[in-house]
A and B are shown apart, each in its own frame.
Chain A
Amino acid sequence: MTRFIAILLFACSTAAAAQDQAKIVKLPELQELISSKGDKIKVINFWATWCAPCVKEMPLFEKLGQERTDVQVTFVSMDLDLDPDPSKVYKFVSRKKLQSKVVMLDEKNPNSYIELIDKSWSGALPATIIVNSKTGQRKFVEKELHEGDLEKLIAEVQ
């Protein structure tokens, strides 16, 4: 019984931790996150739990965020577009023990907000924005990334 309670407590605490980690945001907050000035290279990856190529490329972003202090990685989950329940994302974040910042976009009318995030984005996942937050220089890619791709894209905005 105590063991059961311990497991339950653990499950609750990790779920709560994931909730702290994966904040639900609206478009203005996301736009601020992308375009605010600073001294880091921002790497913003748009993904969803159902997107196989997204999940596959995630470790590259995690590794980059841990290895480079000049880079700030953010995962933007688009799951809420199809399913209003955020629990799938919370579970994913704690199961994968994601270290990078995670937010969930909660917005209606993708036809207008996709353009506002990036003009060249079709809306397909995965997609990644790389911004030099000092100069504002940015790159957008709409495809699954492979080993070495992120470093190349970062060099292009430096």
Chain B
Amino acid sequence: MLVMAVCMFVLVAASPVRMGYEVGDTVADFKLKNTNGKMVALSDYKDVKGVIVIFDCNTCPYSKAYNDRILALGKKYSKTFPLILVQSNDPEKSPGDSYDAMVKYAEDHGYDFPYLFDETQNVARNFGATNTPHAFVLKKEGAAFKVVYIGAIDDNARDAAAVTKRYVEDAVDAVTSNKAAATTKTKAIGCTIKWAD
């Protein structure tokens, strides 16, 4: 029996299946420390249509390329569909992503939305976030938050002026007008999340 249990465990541990939310899944609540020292929980967001969660960091060139666009997203939907940035890189692996460095980065860039430190990396693991920036659009249904979109912010990292598809904005607009998002999942090149050993 024990042997079987061990075998099962090994099989599960070794299975290549990626964990994480799929479109339609309900997201578990999380509570993380913001750069202003206060805790922020997903369940704090009561009177919203949904939230945009983006896994991001200080150091990735893709995050830098998208920084202005991320700031614009934060402004555009601040009341109805607020933005939450989550930083999940292990500071041992990526020293530029320590909590102190996050505090400075948020100040320097004028973040007026939460920039949360996922110290245990559990939130990134639960979401199945793989790279930065990695966006998740969540729709509020009653008290629950459901995933409606997973992937890139838009279809051109290099050049904001050459973007033809604004995936995150389209998903948010679809939710606010009670429609289904046209694109629910995309992939993009990016920096891997720096997992602790």
Binding site for B on A (CB under 8 A): 48, 50-53, 78, 81-84, 108-111, 114-115, 120-126, 142-144
Contact = CB atoms under 8 A, between A and B. Distances in A.
A121 B130 CA distance: 10
Nearest to B157: A82
B46 interface: no
A50 B192 CA distance: 12
Contacts of B94: 52
Interface of B: 16, 18, 61-62, 65, 94, 130-131, 151-152, 155-158, 186-195
Given A50-B191, A78-B189, 13 more contacts: A48-B189, A52-B94, A82-B157, A84-B158, A108-B156, A110-B157, A114-B188, A122-B187, A124-B192, A125-B131, A125-B189, A125-B190, A142-B130
A122 B124 CA distance: 14
A124 B158 contact: no
A126 B187 contact: no
A144 B191 CA distance: 11
The secondary structure that dominates the A interface is loop
Contact of A53 (B156, B188, B192): B192
Contact of A81 (B158, B192, B194): B158
Contact of B189 (A53, A110, A115, A120): A110
Interface centre among A53, A78, A110, A144 (most CB of B within 10 A): A110
